[in-house]
Chains A and B, each alone.
Chain A
């Protein structure tokens, strides 16, 4: 029995009920997010001592996959929230403000958003233009061109900026700002191909708050030790859900075909076999990544190592590419029945949602970073640890 999954069953059903409407209208999945709050699942990753569920990242990933099978937008919102929570837990411990905020996330089931990218630096989240401007005990911040998923629905947003106005672009910190402390000025809409319910609109983010809300750890550490790893793993778990549901639909099509034509192999059967191989590759890629992260968390040098960064980046590249290949196979198997939006074999929404994977931090940008790391890091030639 898996307790978080049991608690999530109702959320998954709710997400499924509204998924088409959320996609068609490009609206926030209010019902499913409310169900997440009602089941107290927004605090799933927070340690029990602060009032949370104390779950492992693998349990959160499992729920991301279950949600991804029904409504990718809800799944991605849940994943992005948990990525912020993971950083809060890993780097907010020991800081009085952050610990009490963790308790409030549990008590009030606060939804956390992220403003790490910025107009002018694109997906290079390790560079900021804006800066924290300190004035006594408070700081001010204004970030332009920020793409913030469910920004308008977030109870708090974690934002990155340079340490101070005279700091270099890569010397960044991260702060938590609550809804009452920030202002969002909408500068861009989110009428997108897929992931339409994430409402990832463009904003100018501005606000002020006490300096104690800035994390003591540098953002460089937060990025490499919690954020990038949990993002690549949980995003991948969502995409795995999307791809596996598409393939399950295609399998339904093949089975129906096989029953109707008992004397010959269904034409899609071979392609289905081929696609299950890709699905297995995708699964082991993610499962191995989760294990690698769990191991690295016990050793700070490992967590900060190039080999860990290479591994996590490859999880994202691999699962973003495989998800599209698998869904394309599902489409080829079901043909027109898959292409149409109103059959049990439809995979159009799956495809549109999964296409976001390669631009959500551009794969080409990640390949560029990887190719630099591989000037130093040796190829790992072992099969085991």
Chain B
């Protein structure tokens, strides 16, 4: 999952560095993620993982790091399974 997230971050995040070089907890906003790019990234995540981000996850924190994104995806998957 983390590799796929990193690939999508590279494709949609418009960061100033490659996603492979940043840690799971690194602040994506500090490496150039904008709120515009965060939406594009969310759409790519939804398409790739076949999920829908609920409104309550549509805030800055959800896309603040690779780990935060993975947490959201796990939470959505767990809810779908339940």
Contact = CB atoms under 8 A, between A and B. Distances in A.
A7 to B, nearest CB: 37
B15 to A, nearest CB: 8
B48 to A, nearest CB: 15
Nearest to A306: B58
Interface in A358-373: 369, 372-373
Nearest to B36: A372
B23 interface: no
A192 to B, nearest CB: 30
Interface in A200-227: 218, 220-221, 224
A170 B58 contact: no
B35 interface: yes
Contact of A304 (B32, B33, B34, B61): B61
A305 B63 CA distance: 11
Interface residues of B, number: 20
B60 A168 contact: no
A167 B27 CA distance: 13
B32 A169 contact: yes
B1 interface: no
Which residue of A305, A375, A376 has the most chain B CB atoms within 10 A of its CB atom? A376
Given A220-B29, A375-B39, A376-B53, A170 B59 contact: no
A148 B58 CA distance: 33
A378 interface: yes
Contacts of A171: 29-32
Nearest to A305: B59
A378 B36 contact: no
B55 A307 contact: yes
Interface in A202-254: 218, 220-221, 224
Contacts of A10: none
Interface of B is mostly: helix
Nearest to B55: A378
Interface in A268-308: 301-302, 304-307
A306 B59 contact: yes
B37 to A, nearest CB: 9
B42 interface: yes
B39 A376 contact: yes
B20 interface: no
Given A373-B39, A376-B39, A301 B31 contact: no
Contact of A305 (B29, B36, B42, B58): B58
B74 interface: no
A168 B16 contact: yes
A92 B31 CA distance: 24
A126 interface: yes
Interface string B27-57: 0011111111001001100000000010110
Interface string A373-385: 1011110000000
Interface string A303-335: 011110100000000000000000000000000
15 contacts: A171-B29, A171-B30, A218-B29, A220-B60, A221-B60, A224-B60, A301-B61, A304-B59, A306-B58, A306-B59, A372-B35, A372-B39, A375-B43, A377-B58, A378-B55
6 tightest CB-CB pairs across the interface, nearest first? A168-B32, A304-B60, A306-B58, A305-B59, A168-B16, A304-B59
Given A306-B58, A372-B35, 11 more contacts: A126-B35, A170-B29, A171-B29, A171-B31, A221-B60, A305-B55, A369-B35, A372-B36, A373-B39, A376-B43, A376-B58
